[in-house]
Amino acid sequence: MKSSILRAGVIALACALGLSACGGGSGDLYLAGAVVGVTEDGLVLQNNGGDDTAVVAPYTSFQFGNRVSTDDQFNITVRKKPDNAEACVVNNGKARANYYTIGQISVTCSIKQHALTVNIQGLKGSGLVIVNGADRHDVPVDTTTDTTTVHMATVSEGGAYGVTVLQQPTGQNCTVSGDGITNSNGTGIMGKTEATTVIVTCKP
């Protein structure tokens, strides 16, 4: 009888110690997650309105400095987004902490998109095809105007673009010259301005 009471007491004490260790202030769970769509500095996250954490290169993950304990409420928000991001969204950022919930957090930013316009001058022959990498555009001849405008797919801010002639029109030779301001040969990095124009000149 005596030993069984002793055993129960020891177990209870061990349990109490174990629980207090788990609940203790600093916590034992790292609050972390994946980051998608970030290409530059500037993203700052907060937990419960504090513990500011900047996301740094290579911009694929974050981890808060303060650990949390099981059952602590966490609420991750975006304090500041990178300059080139349209919006940043926290997924599964609000829950009570446990091994499952802390493994489900991620932050996704969408990068600002800007128009890329190509002005084609003097096009008389059919068959001109211009590309920006995988973005292909067949350019029909428009006899009513000397300048044909082609709207390419939008380009991410800070991302590269490079317009080239994939196929020359019949009887003409077209060269990409750029607008001379943001680019000189139809290749460059998309700036923060709303539109970038590339010039293609076709000559007999």
Cβ closest to another protein, residue 40 vs residue 135:
135
Min. distance of Cβ 115 from another protein in angstroms? Answer: 12
Distance in Å, CB of 151 to another protein, minimum? 14
Q: Which is nearer to another protein, 93 or 186 (CB)?
A: 186
Please answer whether residues 17 and 9 qualify as being in contact, where contact means their C-beta atoms are separated by less than 8 angstroms.
no
Residue 70 Cβ vs another protein, minimum distance, rounded to whole Å? 31
Q: Which residue has the tokens 């010039």?
A: 199
End-to-end CA distance of the chain: 109
Q: Are 166 and 135 in contact (CB under 8 A)?
A: no
Position among 11, 87, 189, 195 found at the interface with another protein (CB under 8 A): 189
Q: Which stretch binds another protein (CB under 8 A): 12-20, 26-34, 94-102, 127-135?
A: 127-135
d(CA 27, CA 10): 25
How near is the Cβ of 67 to another protein at its closest, in Å?
Answer: 33
Contacts with another protein, 79-118, as mask; x by CB under 8 A: -------------------------------------x--
Q: Mask 148-167, x = binds another protein (CB under 8 A)?
A: -----x-xx--xxxxxxxxx
**Site of interaction with another protein (CB under 8 A):** 116, 131-136, 153, 155-156, 159-167, 185-190
